């Protein structure tokens, strides 16, 4: 490990960046250095512009990956190298405006029923019924399930913020079914092959892709689609946007407002206390 890499990691840790962000930023900077076979400390604004052109025109990377590279380089030059003048010359790309893909309650039921593995299905049901990100669901601990108050505690979610979300009765029933069948000997609610570590995200992502094929869904569905469905279905059932923002853990109400563009107001489709009630998934899925 180079001295510059050590310094950057130390700077990120001091500022309480998450391990995932630290890994992402260091990989982005390493790729930048490999492209020019030089240390970033020897490179300047012109190299950055050429690298951005290469990422867009040759690599054809996604907007999110491009944005990560820009953020990583901004942190490197502004904080670790102390060269803010270069930072001003690193433009952020204009983010394309795309609406999230949302499934109907019936499609959610088909999707979940197409997952034969009890643990994997329970993870995705938890994401849908509580609006969790994949990492948040996988890092749930047994003690985060508060059945008395009917809520889930999300500890140190995105942005390293704690919050509470819904624990619908049907999700609690599913979690109890999963618990009785699996009896995980771990503090993690969804442990991986090693009891001291949670299930790896790729296991759920793989099952998600397979379930889409089995269910015959034409829409582009990812694990994050469950979170979009949670927010949209709550909005369609009459839940106010501020409540949805708090449940999702969004810093800005504007971020949650995107669901106003995809929701179709239909009174009585769902209850805010029980998202899974209308899907029939508890009875239809193989236990």
Q: For residue 264, how many C-alpha atoms fall within 13 Å in the half-sphere facing its CB?
A: 5
The one catalytic residue among 163, 227, 228, 233:
227
227 classed as catalytic: yes
110 classed as catalytic: no
The one catalytic residue among 259, 261, 271, 286:
259
17 classed as catalytic: no
- The DSSP-derived string for the chain is --HHHHHHHHHHHHTT--HHHHHHHHHHHHHHHHHHTS-GGG--HHHHHHHHHIIIIII---HHHHHHHHHHHHHIIIIIS--HHHHTT-PPPPPP--PPP---HHHHHHHHHT---HHHHHHHHHHHHHT--HHHHHT-BGGGEETTTTEEEEEEETTTEEEEEE--HHHHHHHHHHHHHH---SSBSSB-SSTTSBPPHHHHHHHHHHHHHHHT--S---TTHHHHHHHHHHHHTT--HHHHHHHHT-S-HHHHGGGGGT----TTS-BTTBTTTTT-HHHHS--
The one catalytic residue among 133, 163, 228, 233:
133
The one catalytic residue among 74, 110, 139, 250:
250
The one catalytic residue among 5, 158, 214, 271:
158
The one catalytic residue among 7, 35, 224, 271:
224
259 classed as catalytic: yes
- Report residue 213 as tokens: 């094929």
25 classed as catalytic: no
Question: Which residues are the active-site residues?
Answer: 133, 158, 224, 227, 250, 259
């Amino acid at each position: 490990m180079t001295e510059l890499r050590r310094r950057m990691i130390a700077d990120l840790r001091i500022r309480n960046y998450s391990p995932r962000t630290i890994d992402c930023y260091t990989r982005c900077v390493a790729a930048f250095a490999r492209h020019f076979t030089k240390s970033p400390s020897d490179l300047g604004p012109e190299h950055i512009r050429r690298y951005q052109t290469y990422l867009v025109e040759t690599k054809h990377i996604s907007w999110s990956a491009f944005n990560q590279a820009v953020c990583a380089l901004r942190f490197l030059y502004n904080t670790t190298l102390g060269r803010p003048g270069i930072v001003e010359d690193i433009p952020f790309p204009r983010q394309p405006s795309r609406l999230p893909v949302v499934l109907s309650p019936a499609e959610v039921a088909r999707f979940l029923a197409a997952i034969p593995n009890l643990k994997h299905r329970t993870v995705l049901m938890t994401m849908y019924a509580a609006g969790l990100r994949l990492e948040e669901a996988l890092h749930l601990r047994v003690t985060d399930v508060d059945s008395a108050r009917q809520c889930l505690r999300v500890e140190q979610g995105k942005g390293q913020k704690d919050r509470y979300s819904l624990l619908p009765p049907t999700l609690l029933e599913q979690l109890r079914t999963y618990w009785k069948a699996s009896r995980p000997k771990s503090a993690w609610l969804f442990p991986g092959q090693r009891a001291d570590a949670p299930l790896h995200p790729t296991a759920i992502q793989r099952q998600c892709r397979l379930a889409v094929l089995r269910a015959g869904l034409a829409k582009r569905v990812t694990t994050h689609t469950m979170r979009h469905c949670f927010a949209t279905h709550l909005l369609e059932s009459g839940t106010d946007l501020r409540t949805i923002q708090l449940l999702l853990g969004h810093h800005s109400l504007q971020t949650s407002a995107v669901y106003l563009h995809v929701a179709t107001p239909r009174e009585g489709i769902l209850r805010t206390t029980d998202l899974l009630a209308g899907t029939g998934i508890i009875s239809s899925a193989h236990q």
